[in-house]
Amino acid sequence: MSTDDTTKRIGKKLLEIRRAKDLTQAELAKKAGMNGNYYAKIERGEVKPAPEAYEKIAKALKVTAADIFPF
């Protein structure tokens, strides 16, 4: 599995969790303290954010890293 595949799988998982919590991308981005467009790119697997960005997202979603990462 390539890094790009992993990035897309993480983005898909974030999308699923966000929808389950009934949040928009903009709402989650605001809670995570990041730009909405940047968050949307993370969800689509278009960017590979720093671990700190994933930490902010996990905290905003109130989940653990194990809930987000597919490995």
Query: What's the pLDDT tens digit per position in 19-42?
Result: 999 999 999 999 999 999 999 999
* Per-residue model confidence (pLDDT) at position 41: 97
CA 40 to chain CA centroid, nearest Å: 8
In whole angstroms, give the CA distance from residue 41 to residue 50: 13
CA distances from 55 to 6, 42, 49, 64, 68 (A): 17, 13, 10, 9, 10
Domain extent, residue 30, equals 3-68
- Supply the CATH number for residue 37's domain: 1.10.260.40
Q: Is residue 2 very low, low, confident or very high in pLDDT (cuts 50, 70, 90)? A: low
> pTM for this structure?
0.91
The pLDDT tens digits of the residues spanning 54-66 come to 999 999 999 999 9
User: What domain count does the chain have?
Assistant: 1
In whole angstroms, give the CA distance from residue 63 to residue 43: 16
